[in-house]
Amino acid sequence: MATVLKTASVPGLGKVQAGEIEVSSVSKSYGVQQFAKDVVKDCSFTVQRHKLTVMIGPSGCGKSTLIRLMAGFERPTSGTITIDGKQVVGPSHDRLVVFQETALFPWMTTYENIMYGPKARGEDTPKTREFAEFLLDKVGLTQFRDKYPNQLSGGMQRRAELARAMINNPSVMLLDEPFRGLDAMTKELMWEYYAALFEETRRTNFFVTTDIDEAIFLADRLLIMTNIPTRVRAVLEVNIPRPRKLKDLVEDDRANDVKMEALSLLHEEAMKSFAGGSKAAADFVEAYSRRIAKR
């Protein structure tokens, strides 16, 4: 029987927290004075409580910068970020980040990696250890508890990182292209696995991607970002009931409508990014796109 991660009966979990994030007129620049480069410019959006919000935009537009700002690793040049009304001023275990590249410590076993957060806070208790064993089972890694990261596949490493985040019972999970680099089959399996975990806890999740199929499958709300300096260009609601199945979304009119609208907006922004400010390059790509559309 599958283990369910919903209630306070789960060992060590207690009540699942879910925060609401408010990003208000946030800008972020790097460099000084006349040499400063804007990466994020006057960006505002809300990550709703208990929702899976997905941000998608051109590569290099500033999505990872926003994740770092929301995590508290960096401070905005201007504007504010709050979680449940409290301003983010630094990192905190109430919001956890899963990065693009594995952040598992190579000298620690799977179990030791999962227990790292609680141990660092002096919370290495029997209850927490029981919860760690529960999470190992939940992510299907019980038989790999004593293996090191280099002995795990890419998909296993991603699951271990999800468990390491969940053991801290954060109110918000921030995920920066966590399945990037996985092969196509493993990536799709991870989409379904991650979606199932989200549905069980309904913890607030903020997920960054450049993959439109990943975005449509996972999202409750989709934030379409502009080219750098980034801001929100559009917010699309993905009104498709959960649980979702990948094979069903292929012929789902609602999914395809959202996908076409998102792709149209993303194409415009990606073209700006590709052109790099060159009008000649932008005109060339635009002319080519018009020729393709007429075929």
Condensed to tens digits (0 to 9), the pLDDT of residues 17-63 reads 678 999 999 999 998 877 788 999 999 999 999 999 999 998 888 99
- Decide if 9 is inside a domain: no
Give CA–CA dist 93/95, Å, rounded.
5
- Decide if 152 is inside a domain: yes
Write the single-letter amino acid at 81. Answer: I
Q: Is the dihedral of CA 217, 222, 228, 230 positive or negative?
A: negative
Range of lowest pLDDT (5-9, 119-123, 197-201): 5-9
Residues 240-256 have a mean pLDDT of 90
How high is the pLDDT of residue 35? 76
- Decide if 282 is inside a domain: no
**Can you say how many angstroms the Cα of residue 274 is from the centroid of all Cα atoms in its chain?**
24
Residue 239 · residue 254 · CB < 8 Å: yes
Give the angle 232-271-288 at the CA atoms, nearest 5°.
145
Residue 57 · residue 271 · CB < 8 Å: no
The CATH number of the domain holding residue 47 is 3.40.50.300
- Decide if 279 is inside a domain: no
Bigger pLDDT: 273 or 79? 79
Res. 251 pLDDT band, cuts 50 70 90: confident
Query: Does residue 277 carry a pLDDT above 70?
Result: no
Query: Does residue 4 carry a pLDDT above 50?
Result: no
- What b/e string do you get for 193-228 counting C-beta neighbours within 10 Å, with b at 16 or more? bbbebbebbebbbbbbbbbbbbbbbbbbbbbbbbbb
- Residues 61-111 pLDDT 10s: 899 999 999 999 999 999 999 999 999 999 988 888 998 888 899 999 999
- Roughly what angle, to the nearest 10 degrees, separates helices 154-166 and 126-138? 140
- Residues 104-158 pLDDT 10s: 999 999 999 999 989 998 999 999 999 999 999 988 899 999 999 999 998 899 8
- Quote the radius of gyration of the chain (alpha carbons, Å): 20
Residues 209-226 have a mean pLDDT of 95
- In the chain, the number of structural domains is 1
- Decide if 65 is inside a domain: yes
- Decide if 295 is inside a domain: no
Q: Is the dihedral of CA 246, 250, 254, 257 positive or negative?
A: positive
- Which of 161, 159, 156, 155 lies closest to 181 in space, CA to CA? 155
- Which of 86, 48, 61 lies closest to 205 in space, CA to CA? 48
Mean pLDDT computed over every residue of the chain:
86
Residue 131 · residue 10 · CB < 8 Å: yes
- The boundaries of the domain holding residue 212 are 21-266
Specify whether the backbone of 79 is left (phi greater than 0), alpha (psi in -120 to 50) or beta.
left
Query: Does residue 6 carry a pLDDT above 60?
Result: no
How high is the pLDDT of residue 247? 87
Write the single-letter amino acid at 139. Answer: V
- Cis-peptide, bond into residue 241, ω within 30° of zero: no
3-state secondary structure at position 85: coil
- Decide if 66 is inside a domain: yes
Tokens of 54: 């997905």
Residue 56 · residue 225 · CB < 8 Å: yes
- Decide if 228 is inside a domain: yes
